[in-house]
Amino acid sequence: MASGEGRAGVEIQVARVSLAEKLTGQDKCVVVAELTGGPGFSFDPIEKFLTACREKADAIPAAFDFAAVALPQSPGGAANIEPAAVIHFLQAKGLLDGLDVLPHVTCKDMNADAIISSLMSYKRGGIKNVLALTGDKPAKAAGVFELESLGLLRLIKRINSESYLRAKPQALGEIHRFFPGAAVSPFKYTEASQMQQYYKMEKKIACGAEFLVTQVGWDWRKSLELFTYMKQAGVNVPVIGNVYLLSTLTPAPRLMHDIKLPGCFVSDELLAKVQSERIDDHIERAAQQVAMYRAMGAAGVDIGGVHDFDMFTRILQRAAEIGADWEPFKENLHWPAKEAFYLYDDAGVQGRLITPYPTFGKRFFDFSHRAFLDPDHTGFRAFRKMMALLGADAGRGAIYKLFNSGEKWFKYLLFECEECGDCFLPENFGLCTIGGCEKGMDNAPCGDATVDGMCGNNLDRVCIGERIYEAAASEGSRDDATAERPNRGLERLRTIINPPRNPALQHTSSIINYLFAKDHTMKSPIIAIGEAIHASIPKTGKIMKELHDLGADAYTKPSGPLQYIQALIESQADEGADYIAVNLDAFGEDNPQQAVDMMVEYVKLVRKWSHGVPVCIDSSSDDVLMTGLKEWYAATEAVKPPLINSVKVYTMEKMLPLKKDYDFSFVGLLVSEERPTGPGGSHSVDELVGMARQIFERAVGHYGFRPEQIFFDSTVFPLAIDMPMEPGVPGYTYRTFETIKRIKSDPQMKGVHCSLGISNSVRDLPARRIGVCRAYVAKAIEYGLDAGIVNTAHQYGSTEPAPELLKLVDAYAKLDGSVEKTGKAMELMADFCRANRKPS
Ligand code: SF4
């Protein structure tokens, strides 16, 4: 029995075999009981159910494993007991023996910080399973929805990554890791609502969902459609089928029929049938549905609407009797809408998807966006220049206010804009998901649309998800589009995931924010090459060694060290890395072949977990570089060209011919085997620029590289020891920066990048290393730097550096060897060290 500390100091005990293990690794059908508190915030129904369970546990048939209790958070948008309080109560009463818990976490009444606090409480309590939901619109209170299901799943993924990244290497086997699930509804009856559900399901998996729970619904064709779609789309996570005891014992059938429980559908015919039946018939239908889900391949069922344990076991016993032979009951499990969209016909053949003509609104949006707000068009540049001349870029002043107020009424009129200031109209195909959606979600839709595509929370409006789907579909060609081969617009819709809006921008002008890159479109001023997977970093190197020592299946079998590497890859990708570097040279010092073999494995891992961010294969060994490059392209899926670090003047004739077979970019490292002839016995700026030209000419002139595929690295010297020993000799930083300036202003090498390994600059400094790196990047950008091997978590280039640190770096950038400049740099460094001395 694993244990942890509960929120109120109560020892939380969780099941011996977790829900995750049961869902992924056993033949028995997992059963989850969905339990809610009673009227007056009472624990009674839950307590009664679990007390009976303790007494009659052997009434569960052998084919089923009653594994967990699911705890909704204020279902139906009505305030109820918090799942955390229920867990606390059940533990205190000892009612969870052997059972796991699955609390629902929703975004309806908590902002992002409150959700983090809630998750951290679960983490402290040892709770691992969570069902991540957008949540129902609150019935009486204001909904929050700062995050929705995708934002919540990304947040959970980040918490999981941080747990590994912060752990000591010896503790990696005991890390708390959330096992997040998500909801999916196959019970939608318009093409738009249904395809949006399937697309969102795929996005939920991409954001970290590790299992799915279906919405309630009574249509076996739809249940089967879900499994068929998942197979076709390569979605391979366990599914828990939702089985709700639809019974006149509660008002639920009528409420679902009357659209009082958004997202749940009971047809006229089903309501009439249920009202004409006895409770035994209701139990029979639930049992048939359990058997159906089992036979279709669900890993488990989530049984809701039953707070009577005897009834619960009767459902399971009857389902066990039916076994796999559920098909005779198809008629009793088929209650579709009158106008019903099915993705596959009776023979399992997929139908065509719509390709409507763009609406007037869509055409108007596309035209005006292209004319004034597309950075590739002159209209954007002219508009931006004019707004800058008028001083509107400052975000204050009379002109800005005038523009902002005009923008507000105009966008309200056209798009129901609610002034979030961080506009996603282009991502949402010209539609606003704040003003246009009852929940104001970043990633619409939720699962509440009615069978005819109206919003389940406001029947007077079409669900924004429907409108977005149609706008997206209208972007594609009018060729046959199918689920397997969607048109261009639908393919974009299928994969686009909007990040959470920046709350600080609310009520500011979204157009000004966009024009001057203050919103989510803000790009890092440098191409970021994530440096974290480097065997010479002590902690990472130790974990890499442990992983390697696990043997033949080390890189495929789950383990603490492998989770750590996954966290390193995923966190860098999430932080906006443009490349993820892997350097294993420390392993090649004694055994060169080991570094070669390991690079094969790490390239595969980056390909698997980086969400499309290409690898940077970083090594001083050409064998490692070549092996990594070949492995990157050994994939069946399309991959972006990787970056090779590095190619030198004396290795280029070996490395550059590989371009014929493998497309790649490369770092041209400006070092030479020839004796330097510059001042102080090192290479002069002229020599370094000469090397760059040599590499450029061979790469572009002979081997067919494009200039933008070349990243010149003039090498970084630590500031702390960058002191010329003789007068008249410039500093290394000066040389590095001047080389960048010369390369970037050379018309013949137009288009190349300049990159540096930024962390080297702060080696041996006593403190404020991140701040100095920030200043170093800012100063180097002034000279033309546009790429860097960096710690992506620090987002260099997007935060202003401290002025005194910028001054310090500036002194080194100008250290040309004169007595005056040398004196100034030494003085500033002495001040810096004095101010940042560690107490002895
Ligand atoms: S408009 Fe659509 S996505 Fe928004 S709340 Fe209504 S049903 Fe949900």
Is residue 60 within 8 Å of 66, Cβ to Cβ? yes
- Closest C-alpha to ligand 1, atom 3: 445
Is residue 90 within 8 Å of 96, Cβ to Cβ? yes
pLDDT band at residue 172, thresholds of 50, 70 and 90? very high
Q: In the 8-state DSSP scheme, what is residue 802?
A: P
User: Per-residue pLDDT tens for 318-350?
Assistant: 999 999 999 999 999 999 999 999 999 999 999
Rounded CA separation 647/501 (Å): 41
Rounded CA separation 722/398 (Å): 49
CA of 662 to the centre of ligand 1 (A): 46
> Measured at the alpha carbon of residue 13, what is the angle toward residues 10 and 18, in degrees to the nearest 5?
150
- Closest C-alpha to ligand 1, atom 2: 463
15 close to ligand 1 (CB < 6 Angstrom): no
Say which residues have a Cβ less than 8 Å from residue 475's Cβ, sequence separation at least 6.
358, 429, 487, 488, 489, 492
The phi-psi region of residue 688 (left if phi > 0; otherwise alpha if psi is between -120 and 50; otherwise beta) is alpha
CA of 772 to the centre of ligand 1 (A): 47
Strand intervals (E) in 217-342 = 239-244, 300-304
Is residue 466 within 8 Å of 453, Cβ to Cβ? yes
Say which residues have a Cβ less than 8 Å from residue 449's Cβ, sequence separation at least 6.
188, 190, 193, 263, 455, 456, 463, 465, 466
The phi-psi region of residue 345 (left if phi > 0; otherwise alpha if psi is between -120 and 50; otherwise beta) is beta
Amino acid in position 378: T
192 close to ligand 1 (CB < 6 Angstrom): no
Confidence at residue 478, expressed as pLDDT on a 0 to 100 scale: 59
User: Per-residue pLDDT tens for 755-810?
Assistant: 999 999 999 999 999 999 999 999 999 999 999 999 999 988 878 999 999 999 99
Confidence at residue 818, expressed as pLDDT on a 0 to 100 scale: 92
Is residue 436 within 8 Å of 424, Cβ to Cβ? no
Name the token pair of 8: 């109120």
468 close to ligand 1 (CB < 6 Angstrom): no
**Residue 439 CA, closest ligand 1 atom number:** 5
Is residue 46 within 8 Å of 90, Cβ to Cβ? yes
449 close to ligand 1 (CB < 6 Angstrom): yes
Beta bridge partners of 105: 132
CA of 465 to the centre of ligand 1 (A): 7
444 close to ligand 1 (CB < 6 Angstrom): yes
φ, ψ of residue 839 in degrees (nearest 5): -65, 140
Is residue 125 within 8 Å of 6, Cβ to Cβ? yes
Rounded CA separation 172/559 (Å): 8
373 close to ligand 1 (CB < 6 Angstrom): no
Higher pLDDT, 675 or 451: 451
Rounded CA separation 155/115 (Å): 9
- Closest C-alpha to ligand 1, atom 4: 437
3-state DSSP helix/strand/coil % of the chain, to nearest 5: 45, 15, 40
96 close to ligand 1 (CB < 6 Angstrom): no
298 close to ligand 1 (CB < 6 Angstrom): no
**Residue 448 CA, closest ligand 1 atom number:** 7
User: Per-residue pLDDT tens for 174-231?
Assistant: 999 999 999 999 999 999 999 999 999 999 999 999 999 999 999 999 999 999 999 9
**Residue 461 CA, closest ligand 1 atom number:** 1
259 close to ligand 1 (CB < 6 Angstrom): no
pTM of this structure: 0.92
CA distances to 62, 284, 312 from 56, in Å = 14, 21, 11
User: Per-residue pLDDT tens for 352-402?
Assistant: 899 999 999 999 999 999 999 998 889 999 999 999 999 999 999 999 999
Exposure of 465 by Cβ count < 10 A (0-12 exposed, 13-18 middle, 19+ buried)? buried
Average pLDDT value for residue range 497-508: 96
CA of 110 to the centre of ligand 1 (A): 18
Over 60: is that where the pLDDT of 3 sits?
no
CA of 665 to the centre of ligand 1 (A): 44
CA distances to 71, 182, 246, 341, 451 from 264, in Å = 18, 17, 11, 17, 9
- Closest C-alpha to ligand 1, atom 8: 446
3-state class of 666 per DSSP? strand
**Residue 438 CA, closest ligand 1 atom number:** 5
CA of 139 to the centre of ligand 1 (A): 15
CA of 190 to the centre of ligand 1 (A): 14
**Residue in this structure with the two tokens 């750590």, named with its chain if needed:** 564
Average pLDDT value for residue range 534-541: 97
User: Per-residue pLDDT tens for 32-86?
Assistant: 999 999 999 999 999 999 999 999 989 999 999 999 999 999 999 999 999 999 9
- Closest C-alpha to ligand 1, atom 6: 455
Q: How many residues does the chain have?
A: 840
CA of 576 to the centre of ligand 1 (A): 30
CA of 445 to the centre of ligand 1 (A): 6
